[in-house]
A and B are shown apart, each in its own frame.
Chain A
């Protein structure tokens, strides 16, 4: 039994193509480490899995290759794609009759459609997905922000007459964006250079046992 394995290993080592195939594995791993976009990294992980399965099969470990292809490539990538898709999202609460209507009409000259497009561009820059969530009135919008259902609210000033938090410092700015996340506030303050919007940061109370 032992001499058989030794013979097999010697025969395998005589095949020069094995070295080339094994050299592909660190190349793919290096490609995976330099990716920035998480979705691109997932696709490269699939490439790494395919090459790893090839290496394992060539080195004689057929069961390991099968596991790598089934679990490492197919299952892990699908689960990670679902996880990244649902976590890298910026939930923007809007009023039903205000910004959402402008978004569906999508007129390029409309300032609210322009604002949504700007926010979408900023979110895409940080690989976030912008999700618009409509609410009926400004009160439920504020409530949803404090209860951590949404990350950012964006309302036009005319709809915002019941609960003015920042009117005193932003006269003449028709749109008001409020966020409860410090990092989003920093990003929006840096990148959203629109003169028509005012930006506010609120701290949501920590409800503790929720989530």
Chain B
């Protein structure tokens, strides 16, 4: 199962590289969404690996709340570009 996690870390490097290279703010937001979701799924995988319900609950909360934060930030940036 360690190999699965290491493969997920390598997949996490792809959006990090994307956020580094691209100067467009929406590309960066896209990379942020990708990373936020990937990290929460990784937390869930770790919680299943260790059979730790506490980490699992935290992973679920981060997975749902991260999307809410992303929506707030996207709304602010969109309004800034409109005005």
Contact = CB atoms under 8 A, between A and B. Distances in A.
Contacts of B72: 74, 78
A101 B31 CA distance: 40
A17 B2 contact: yes
B25 A58 contact: no
A187 interface: no
A24 B9 contact: yes
B69 A78 contact: yes
Nearest to B26: A43
A46 B32 contact: yes
A16 interface: yes
A40 interface: yes
Contact of A40 (B28, B43, B70): B28
A85 B16 CA distance: 25
Interface in B33-48: 35-36, 39-40, 42-43, 46-47
B49 to A, nearest CB: 8
Interface in B6-59: 6, 9, 12-13, 16, 19-20, 23, 25, 28-29, 31-32, 35-36, 39-40, 42-43, 46-47, 54-55, 57-59
Contact of B73 (A16, A42, A50): A42
Contact of B16 (A27, A65, A73): A27
Interface in A31-89: 31, 37, 39-40, 42-44, 46-47, 50-51, 53-54, 57-58, 60, 62-63, 65-66, 69-70, 73-74, 77-78, 81-82, 85
Contacts of B57: 62
Contacts of B65: 69-70, 74
A82 B32 CA distance: 19
A124 to B, nearest CB: 11
Contact of A39 (B25, B31, B61, B83): B25
Interface of B: 2, 5-6, 9, 12-13, 16, 19-20, 23, 25, 28-29, 31-32, 35-36, 39-40, 42-43, 46-47, 54-55, 57-59, 61-62, 65-66, 68-70, 72-73, 76-77, 80, 83
Interface of A: 15-17, 20-21, 24, 27-28, 31, 37, 39-40, 42-44, 46-47, 50-51, 53-54, 57-58, 60, 62-63, 65-66, 69-70, 73-74, 77-78, 81-82, 85, 129, 131
28 contacts: A17-B6, A20-B6, A24-B12, A31-B16, A43-B28, A43-B31, A43-B32, A46-B69, A46-B73, A47-B16, A47-B31, A50-B32, A50-B62, A53-B43, A53-B62, A54-B42, A57-B59, A58-B46, A62-B54, A62-B55, A62-B57, A65-B62, A70-B65, A74-B65, A74-B69, A74-B72, A78-B69, A129-B80
